[in-house]
């Protein structure tokens, strides 16, 4: 069962909750680092209300997984975060792309994803991205992914991919009790089906 990925979209940038104007886009920089406990808590609170994202634990956001943030060092603002799950078999999953509400619709999701992809390019890994929103599908295609209809298309004609997805991937996914609890809760509260399309970027196709 795949995770969800969300590149949040909005037609305009609402004012910040503190009443201040949103920071200029060029003040945000991409940082590859674990989130602080406070940052992780804020991200997790926001994701709990999303029907599109299954959920990651505090331990995963604060060091267990590879994480990237869009951060304004001058103001201390965190616009969003991206989490990469490095899997066995030379695969890595772009597992979460998330922006807080007030930063959506300003191109920051594109900057976050594409900046991360440029950083990961040197690792020579193949990339997976599961999504259910049309916006994420468009962003994935724009960023160099091949967008597939479903898991069946991903595994068609490849025994190696079938074994990876049905055994190795899911075994690692099931290792998080927090994620399992969140999936059960969201199915109950939001009637989530967690039916995702798949985007793939092979080493040959990486930009």
Contacts of 21 (CB under 8 A, 6+ apart): 15
Between β-strands 126-131 and 66-72, what pairing exists: parallel, antiparallel or unpaired? unpaired
In the chain, where are the structural domains located?
A: 25-201
Write down the CATH number for the domain with range 25-201.
3.40.630.30
**What's the pTM?**
0.86
Encode pLDDT of 41-85 as tens digits. Answer: 999 999 999 988 899 999 999 999 999 999 999 999 999 999 999
> Helix %, strand %, coil % for the chain, to 5?
40, 20, 40
Residue 21 CB-density burial (10 A; 0-12 exposed, 13-18 middle, 19+ buried) = exposed
Nearest CA to 97 out of 162, 25, 5, 184 is that of 5
Tell me which residue has tokens 């004609």.
157
Share of the chain above pLDDT 90, in %: 70
């Amino acid at each position: 069962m795949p995770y969800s990925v969300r590149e949040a979209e909005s037609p305009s940038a609402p004012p910040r909750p503190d009443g201040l104007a949103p920071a200029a886009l060029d003040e945000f920089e991409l940082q590859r680092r674990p989130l602080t406990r406070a940052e992780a808590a804020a991200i997790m609170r926001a994701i709990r209300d999303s029907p599109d994202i299954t959920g990651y634990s505090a331990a995963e956001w604060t060091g267990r997984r590879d994480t990237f943030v869009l951060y304004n060092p001058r103001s201390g603002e965190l616009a969003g975060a991206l989490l990469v799950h490095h899997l066995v078999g030379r695969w890595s999953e772009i597992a979460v792309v998330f922006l807080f509400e007030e930063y959506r619709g300003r191109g920051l999701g594109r900057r976050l994803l594409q900046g991360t992809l440029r950083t990961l390019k040197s690792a020579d890994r193949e990339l997976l991205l599961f999504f259910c929103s049309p916006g994420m599908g468009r962003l994935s295609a724009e960023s160099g992914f091949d967008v597939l209809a479903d898991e069946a298309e991903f595994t068609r004609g490849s025994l190696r991919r079938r074994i990876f997805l049905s055994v190795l991937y899911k075994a690692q996914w099931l290792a998080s009790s927090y994620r399992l609890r969140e999936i059960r809760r969201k199915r109950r509260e939001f009637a989530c089906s967690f039916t995702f399309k798949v985007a793939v970027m092979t080493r040959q196709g990486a930009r």
